[in-house]
Amino acid sequence: MKKILFPACLALLLYGNAFAADMHDQQHSGAYKTETLAKSSNAWDGSPLPEYPRGTPEVAVLKITIAPGQQLPMHKHPVINAGVVLSGELTVFTADNKTLHLKPGQALIELVDKWHYGKNEGDVPVKIVVFYASVVGEKLAVSK
């Protein structure tokens, strides 16, 4: 049993590495397709992202729903995060008068330590999934 298990694990490891290396923006025999939605060292306003803090890594994934005509409070994120709009349209406003309008399927690399808020100016709920990369104990957002 051990003689069979080792080659099978090695093959899986090698295939897994080849799969991971080959995952970016390609279609593979119709079996699956990958597409990079966002990739940057800068937030959507062009400002550079900060270095990751030291500590035990923690990843959080939140689904946020904003009702039609509603907005989030003015807030800022002390940690790096990115999101993808699933439905509805979201407009993000910064304290220094920059705006970003997002439609379903569009991604953003969020602002870090800059005051902003999101608003649903449409007539259907906005649903957005946001991924936070932080360390244990770090707040994901701070409101004014």
pTM score, two decimals?
0.78
- The count of C-alpha atoms lying within 13 angstroms of the C-alpha of 70, restricted to the half-sphere facing its C-beta, is 12
* d(C-alpha 93, C-alpha 90), whole Å: 10
Same domain, 14 and 72: no
| Single-letter code of the amino acid located at 12 | L
Structural domain of 13: 2-33
Is position 38 within any domain?
no
Query: For every one of its 144 residues, what pLDDT tens digit does the chain have, with 9 covering 90 and above?
Result: 444 433 333 333 334 444 444 555 666 678 899 999 999 999 999 999 999 989 999 999 999 999 999 999 999 999 999 999 999 999 999 999 999 999 999 999 999 999 999 999 999 999 999 999 999 999 999 999
Same domain, 99 and 28: no
For residue 85, the domain's CATH number is 2.60.120.10
Residues ≥6 apart with Cβ < 8 Å to 71: 117, 118, 119, 120
Is position 127 within any domain?
yes
Q: What angle do CA 137, 140, 144 make, to 5 degrees?
A: 115
Cα 68 from chain centroid (whole Å): 22
Same domain, 17 and 82: no
Q: What is the pLDDT of residue 25?
A: 60
Same domain, 28 and 66: no
SS percent in the chain: helix, strand, coil, step 5: 15, 40, 50
Q: What is the pLDDT of residue 100?
A: 98
Token pair belonging to 64? 């946020």
Helix (H) or strand (E) holding 117: strand 116-119
Is position 126 within any domain?
yes
Same domain, 18 and 83: no
